[in-house]
Structure 1
Amino acid sequence: MDPVIVAGAGPVGLTLALALARLEVPVILLDESTEAEESRLARTVVLRPDAAALLERLGCRVTARTRPWTGWRTMRRRQLVRQVPLTPGGLFGGPPSPERGTGGWGGGLTEAMDAPEGDGSASEDESAPVSAPSPLHLPQHELTRALRGSLAAMGDEDLVRIVSGTRIDDLEQDDHGVGVRTRGAQATWWRGSYLVGCDGPRSTVRKLLGVRFPGRTAVERHAVAALRAELPWPGEALLHRSPPWRSIDAEVTAKPLPHGLWRIDWLLPPGRDLVTPDALMVRVRDTLAGWCGESEPPYELLDTGVHTVHHRLALRWRVGRAFLAGDAAHLLGALGTQGFEEGLRDVDNLAWKLSLAWHHGASDALLDSYQAERRGAVGARLRAADQALPLVRAAGGWHAVRRTVRPGGARGHDTLLTEGHLGRGPLGAPPVYDRSPLAPAAPPDGSVTVGTALGAPVADVPVTAPDGSVVRLRERLGRELLVVLVAPGTGVWDRRHWMRAGLMPRLAAAVAALPLRTELLVTEAYPGAPAHTVLLVRPDGHLAAALSGVRPSALYVCADAARGGNAARGAPAEASARR
């Protein structure tokens, strides 16, 4: 069977190629560039725990070398940062813990409230622990380099072929595959089983498919600077609303990068006025002086830029055998939302479905579910941001919002922005596919409610693998369905004994009869799940079913629904040879 063609070798395209290759699906990666990506320190990515876990699962180790934010701080107009005490108990959520996710560090949330009118002092911090691990923040070129290194480390040119200096010029498709014509260094026709356009906001694939890309332009604009400096809160990220400096009238964020660097963003007023180098330098100096004292501290300016946020959503994400992912399918980024992370979630959703289609054949229902799930999730995120934007960005700043909405309302808006940056709430939390077409038409017999909603990402609990080792549940994702039995007390027994005791023989037989390859795992406990609960988990980590006890027919119905119903039988000869 022909390889999958991935157009675009940015981080999303590289991640998709890596995910497919690890599923033994051959890939042709068409890369327009002819040289290594330019190192731009002002162009960065933020990775929340689920995105970082995906990259680590694929063997991209750059995230393991990046320390998460140690805390998050919000401040308002009249505050002077040097007067805000830094209380370690409020900034650090405790020692490293496997329960806190990939990075292993807890976060802290410190919110400094407004001083009274006419008072230049700041109040004491109010600290609260952050339940989820803090995000990671690193330059995009470092992530791109790490992804390319992970592909090179596989050492299998039959699985991934990267074609540089080439651009898609035309495409055609039929019932058996997709043909694309390229121009550039290797002008020729390429034949693939499927095509995925990861070629950015100006996607050629999207245009050749005739897919519209409606939305809004320049929803927000930010001036950006990457610099080296010692700021008063090492390791913390900062949101400063309406600072009192005359060069800035809206909002400033500062996020730590590795190696003692910082990225600082200034929200620009509406309009298309140019940000001159002199105006940017005034912002840098006023900001550093306001945060660190009467004069700015020593600093080294490394990179600058202007980041414009657009909100757009492609009307279709699948056209026959062609798909869109990443910026080719959606643009978002206002109020702390992260478009790049949504691109990684596209990859996580699509890779296992394409793998199933390539190796075994798949129904249209399975392939259509990519658009239904991912477009629905990103559309909900865009609606949440667009609804919140008029309140948070109201004319007159946060004081006007507080007067017109409700007393104390500004604090709620700070919380909304913080959640967007930290990956929580409607602006940032991982998606829930609660209306997935891959769910059974009716709840199967024996369904139960657990601490994870159906369609939501499962909790990363410790599980016992088939070889008897204890690992994290996230480590087993990506390849096949998972069945997890909640069985308190099994940890004290040798696996060779409990595999033949209690529910295990019946459950193992039920798992062996499922229509997809499935791995059987056991956990001591799962949030909200009583003993003997059986969880069915999709390869992308979303909960497909929760059943009370061993119910072979119900488990089969749920597994069959997760593959899109009656998938095509029989794998092509090429696919069979590779398995």
Structure 2
Amino acid sequence: MDPVIVVGAGPVGLALSLALAAQGVPSVLLDEGPGKDEPRPARTVVLREDTADLVERLGCTSLHHEGLRWSGWRSVRRKQLVRAVPLGDDEGTVPLPSPVHLPQHTLTGSLRAAVAAHDLVEMVPFSRIDTLEQDAHGVTVHTREPGSTWWRGSYVVGCDGARSTVRKLLEIRFPGRTAVERHAVAALRAELPWPGEAVLHRSPPWRSGGTEVTARPLPRGVWRLDWLLPPRGELVTPDALITRIRDTLQGWCGETPAYELLDTGVYTLHHRLARRWRSERAFLAGDAAHLLGALGTQGLDEGLRDAENLAWKLAHAWHQGASELLLDSYQAERRAAVASRLRAADQSLPILRGGAGLRTLVPGASRGHDTLLADGHLGCGPLGAPPSYTHSPLSPQRADGHTPVGTAPGAPVADVRVTAPDGKAVRLRDRLGLGHLLVVLVAPGTGVWDRRHWLTAGVMPRLVDAVGALPVKAELLVTENYPGATAHTVLLVRPDGHLVAAFSGVRPAELYAAADAARGGGPDTVPGGRTGSRESSDRTADVN
């Protein structure tokens, strides 16, 4: 079976190749650039709890050393504190989890290091594709000079950004809105009054503050400051940006403190959504499939979720063959989730950016606006919460044995402590991304038992037999408790951590039916194809 061809070596392409490798699938990663990134301190990323866990599972070691978990969130309007939100720690004692903030080049560099250490990923720099062909058994792409080569793959995924060549070769439209928001950005080292906390300041009282300025901390005393700019017109000169920096620091600190300016930029945010995310054996992910980012939403978060969703489905197809339903479910789930996020942002923009009219008519509207803005930055509500695939084509039919728990079917499962097959206690998320389903039994009290005893006690023998009879590989785990679940509840979880169904007790037939639905039914075709990844470069003459 040929490897998967991943086009584009940004964070999404790197994460996808690593996620495939974790499930035993080789990939060729075609990088248009030289294989390294220019450091840009002002270009940073905010990872939510689920996506931070994902990149850590993939071997990214930079989060603990180069990323900062915010300890709190402050919202200020004019001179008044509107809201102060404590953010969670690793023990989960605070309800709202803390995002991780780090420079994008640091994240990319760490993912590249993980790729370099993996035998199943072949990274090829200076490889810009100009031809893409598909047939019943695979795909063929050509990279132009200087490394003119034909590549053969089982599938191809375009992770090559907003100007995606893969998307253009597939003739997929990319409609949307241009210049939804503009921001002036600066990365600087300084002492601000809220160490470790992110701050959103609306209507700051100084002349150059504009309508909104955000301060987000990074490690070693560095901050990223964003000023919302008018949609059109205002040219941000170096002198004007320095004035903004000084006025803002003086407004927050009472006087302008000493600071070291590290980087600046002006970013324009667009909202776009590709019409299709799949064309036969070709897929789109990340910025090639969608652009978003207004009101604090995080486009990279969604791109990483694309990679996680697609990886286990391609791995299943690569190893066992897959139904068209399973492969189509990537577009059905992910495009719907991003479209919902874009709709929420587009509906909120006129309210939040449309002036003071609503605030003067509706008491407390300003506080409501603040909550809406915080949602996007903190990963809550329709602007930021992790997606739920409630209407997925992979959802099983309702059965008598289904029982409600604290997680709705299609939503991400809670990260409870579980006992793994080797007897070790781990987090449930640690068992994700390995290409198989998870079956979790809720069994209070088992934590104090020796594993060799509870494996043969109660419902376990029957459950072991039921798991062994499933149509796809599954791992059996045990937890002492799960939100909203009673004893002997059985959870079926997808490889990407979304709940398929929960059952009251051991119900082998219903568990089988749900597992079969989660894989999209049996494969439509038998996996096959060629075994080599690189075809002879002598075919280069055939390009024209």
Scaled by the length of structure 1, what TM-score is found?
0.89
The match for 2:441 is: 485
| Bigger RCO of structures 1 and 2 (CA < 8 A, at least 6 apart) | 2
Residues in 2 aligned to 1:402 and 1:31: alpha-carbon distance in whole angstroms = 49
The match for 1:249 is: 210
Give SS of 1:239's match: strand
User: What pairs up with 1:247-326 in 2 under 5 angstroms?
Assistant: 247-293=208-254, 295-326=255-286
The match for 1:230 is: 191
Residues in 2 aligned to 1:514 and 1:272: alpha-carbon distance in whole angstroms = 61
Structure 1 residue 97: Cα displacement: 4.1
| Correspondence for 2:115 among 151, 160, 165 | 151
Kept after mapping to 1: 8 A contact 2:70/2:87: no
The match for 1:503 is: 459
Residues in 2 aligned to 1:58 and 1:448: alpha-carbon distance in whole angstroms = 33
* 1:51-107 C-alpha deviation (Å, 9 max, x unpaired): 00101111212123333001000111134x8xx9x9xxx77568x543x2xxxxx6x
Residues in 1 aligned to 2:400 and 2:523: alpha-carbon distance in whole angstroms = 23
Structure 1 residue 573: Cα displacement: 8.8
* 1:506-565 C-alpha deviation (Å, 9 max, x unpaired): 000000000111000000000001111100000000000101101000000000000001
The match for 1:137 is: 101
Does 1:421 find its partner at 2:377? yes
User: What pairs up with 1:98-177 in 2 under 5 angstroms?
Assistant: 98=91, 100=92, 131-154=95-118, 156=119, 159-177=120-138
Residues in 2 aligned to 1:64 and 1:568: alpha-carbon distance in whole angstroms = 44
Give SS of 1:184's match: coil
The match for 2:55 is: 55
Most deviating of 308-317 and 267-276? 267-276
Residues in 1 aligned to 2:390 and 2:284: alpha-carbon distance in whole angstroms = 22
The match for 1:211 is: 172
Residues in 2 aligned to 1:339 and 1:375: alpha-carbon distance in whole angstroms = 13
Aligned-partner residue type, residue 36 of structure 2: A
Give SS of 1:258's match: coil
Residues in 2 aligned to 1:309 and 1:444: alpha-carbon distance in whole angstroms = 45
Percent identity between matched residues is: 69
Structure 1 residue 475: Cα displacement: 0.2
Residues in 2 aligned to 1:487 and 1:305: alpha-carbon distance in whole angstroms = 54
Aligned-partner residue type, residue 400 of structure 1: G
Kept after mapping to 1: 8 A contact 2:159/2:287: yes
Kept after mapping to 1: 8 A contact 2:442/2:487: yes
Residues in 1 aligned to 2:383 and 2:85: alpha-carbon distance in whole angstroms = 23
Does 1:8 find its partner at 2:13? no
Give SS of 1:566's match: coil
Unmatched 5+ residue regions in structure 2?
A: 532-544
The match for 1:521 is: 477
| Correspondence for 1:335 among 295, 308, 329 | 295
Residues in 2 aligned to 1:487 and 1:393: alpha-carbon distance in whole angstroms = 51
Structure 1 residue 188: Cα displacement: 1.6
Kept after mapping to 1: 8 A contact 2:188/2:223: yes
Most deviating of 145-154 and 552-561? 145-154
Kept after mapping to 2: 8 A contact 1:360/1:569: no
The match for 2:500 is: 544
Residues in 2 aligned to 1:450 and 1:55: alpha-carbon distance in whole angstroms = 28
Kept after mapping to 2: 8 A contact 1:213/1:314: yes
| Correspondence for 2:431 among 456, 467, 476 | 476
The match for 1:561 is: 517
Kept after mapping to 1: 8 A contact 2:68/2:217: no
Residues in 1 aligned to 2:183 and 2:292: alpha-carbon distance in whole angstroms = 14
* 1:457-479 C-alpha deviation (Å, 9 max, x unpaired): 00000001111111000000111
Structure 1 residue 170: Cα displacement: 1.1
* 1:381-404 C-alpha deviation (Å, 9 max, x unpaired): 000000111001112xxx433114
Residues in 2 aligned to 1:241 and 1:556: alpha-carbon distance in whole angstroms = 53
Residues in 1 aligned to 2:200 and 2:357: alpha-carbon distance in whole angstroms = 19
Kept after mapping to 2: 8 A contact 1:177/1:194: yes
The match for 1:384 is: 344
Q: CA distance change for structure 1 residues 427 and 567 in 2, over 3 Å: closer, same or farther?
A: same
Structure 1 residue 153: Cα displacement: 2.2
Aligned-partner residue type, residue 513 of structure 2: V
* 1:115-147 C-alpha deviation (Å, 9 max, x unpaired): xxxxxxxxxxxxxxx512110100000001100
Q: CA distance change for structure 1 residues 509 and 27 in 2, over 3 Å: closer, same or farther?
A: same
The match for 1:69 is: 70
Residues in 2 aligned to 1:142 and 1:401: alpha-carbon distance in whole angstroms = 42
Residues in 2 aligned to 1:93 and 1:63: alpha-carbon distance in whole angstroms = 17
Residues in 2 aligned to 1:97 and 1:541: alpha-carbon distance in whole angstroms = 19
The match for 1:125 is: none
Q: CA distance change for structure 1 residues 375 and 566 in 2, over 3 Å: closer, same or farther?
A: same
Q: Count matched residues.
A: 529
Give SS of 1:259's match: coil
Kept after mapping to 1: 8 A contact 2:323/2:525: no
Aligned-partner residue type, residue 448 of structure 1: T
Residues in 2 aligned to 1:342 and 1:92: alpha-carbon distance in whole angstroms = 24
Residues in 2 aligned to 1:466 and 1:176: alpha-carbon distance in whole angstroms = 37
The match for 2:535 is: none
Give SS of 1:291's match: helix
Give SS of 2:220's match: helix
* 1:191-230 C-alpha deviation (Å, 9 max, x unpaired): 1100000000000000000000000000000000000000
* 1:312-334 C-alpha deviation (Å, 9 max, x unpaired): 00000000000000000000011
Give SS of 1:255's match: strand
Structure 1 residue 570: Cα displacement: 5.5
Structure 1 residue 568: Cα displacement: 4.4
Kept after mapping to 2: 8 A contact 1:16/1:347: yes
Give SS of 1:501's match: coil
Residues in 2 aligned to 1:163 and 1:488: alpha-carbon distance in whole angstroms = 50
The match for 2:391 is: 435
Does 1:347 find its partner at 2:286? no
Structure 1 residue 274: Cα displacement: 2.0
What CA RMSD, in Å, does the superposition of the two structures yield over aligned residues?
Answer: 1.6
Give SS of 1:402's match: helix
Give SS of 1:534's match: strand
Aligned-partner residue type, residue 22 of structure 1: A
User: What pairs up with 1:385-400 in 2 under 5 angstroms?
Assistant: 385-395=345-355, 399-400=356-357
The match for 2:23 is: 23
The match for 1:34 is: 34
Aligned-partner residue type, residue 322 of structure 2: A
Give SS of 1:304's match: strand
Aligned-partner residue type, residue 17 of structure 2: A
Give SS of 2:345's match: helix
Aligned-partner residue type, residue 33 of structure 1: G
Does 1:533 find its partner at 2:489? yes
Residues in 1 aligned to 2:290 and 2:20: alpha-carbon distance in whole angstroms = 22
